[in-house]
Structure 1
């Protein structure tokens, strides 16, 4: 067959210009830069999907699944990959926040959990694969009260069919066979100044920081006058949602769910303001919300109006549910 006249120039173009700007060719080896790029793509996708109104939201929890051979090979490099990922995250946040009024991190820490695996979500993990799963606040712990219908998590994950990151549900059972070892787990405190240059990402740092995260930021004591019940909630995320306990809310780890018809869905948000070193509350309910004797004006979801919430202040929801915040 006679060659077409454009074949020579097409071949020359393919030599000079690579077909893809990825860090590796198709079916190429998984390098440190490949893992870093997958993390950054997942993070950038979450900034676009999770942000609301003038608040910039983003994933802060990441599960990274590698083929066992790759995991063992890359294990010594994982702390550096995490540090470089945080540098890239912070650099992008500095650029993105020009279009937003505020950063709204939903956790006090970044979490990275690496694990070896040969299959995930009914897909084989080959030696050329990297599976990055991103979440806002992490998975709910086992025994947290969710039923089988809600034994799933909403995550950011790349589809093998489309090769783009998307928001999807995964069944938590697919994670049971994965071993998230201590030396592949990293927890780093979020820096509101968006700087990671002085942070040493090591396993010793991880263990110390993880214990602080488990202790929580505040203890919220809840009394429901309509049922005379008392419950205690430990606030571990930098921002939580106060809402009525309904089936659609059971999959969120940063929701404080209250079993009372007098609580709206959602009713309010409480956040830790790192810059001011104080707690704040915003109300979204048509029903009254008070801090001590002050009525809090209702906010729109995309434009929260924050009110200072001091240690041992009492919050009264709809005249029936009392919350007492105690800083830890």
Structure 2
């Protein structure tokens, strides 16, 4: 019995050593990161960080989970099926109005990069946002940033949020197909979908009612040159429990943002999944080149831009406008500052 006991103890000790060794080898921290449209250019840095191995370099095992719209990713976060979201900052303001502590902790995109375009097949005469009254307008999904942007523009131009008939068409092939067929009269779109639709026109002009893909366009719409758009955000409680993981995600992202600044659009496109180009590599490269100035160089969230995002929400949402929103609680630069 003593011999058997010693043998059992030795076996358990050996198993423990083997387990410890395995943990040290493959012990990367698992993070499930939701994305509100993985192939869309605002979220390019999220996938690029994976392709460059930056998450792995930080000891993270990041699983990217794609959703059709930022609102769907937010729902998954609230349901607990993902740890953090690669989505638009707007949702942190929306959640604070609901009494939820959701905070952005690194900024990828400093221009909204949203475009309100008119369908080339629409049978309506649309020369301005005011002409969208009674029109069918596409968005990625209800409650998404494309939805918020449309509502903001309608109200800003003297219309009600329900003056246009809003339809969810997705952010990629679905949006292009809906615009190309004339099923909708206009849409809030994101590249590369905008550039792909432009290509399909065969050189014809795509009428744009609003374009925030550049700092100049962003300033024209919101009055600020830097507007927190695509960010990483998570529940405040998750950030408190996992500061090291948040810091590692931030380091991986800021390293990726610097890589974007230092490389050409062609080099960036080469690193991305081929399917994201949708068979039009040249158009994809051109879209990335146009998007480059909008990517944040440092990951920091600008206070004035954050305030502008809150004003967007207040313009059409009674739930937000009726609340005293503390902007300082919707984001933190702590992890960027300590990267």
Q: Which has the higher contact order (CA 8 A, sep 6+)?
A: 2
Question: TM-score under structure 2 normalisation?
Answer: 0.28
Question: Structure 1 length as normaliser, TM-score?
Answer: 0.28
Bigger fraction of residues in helix: 2
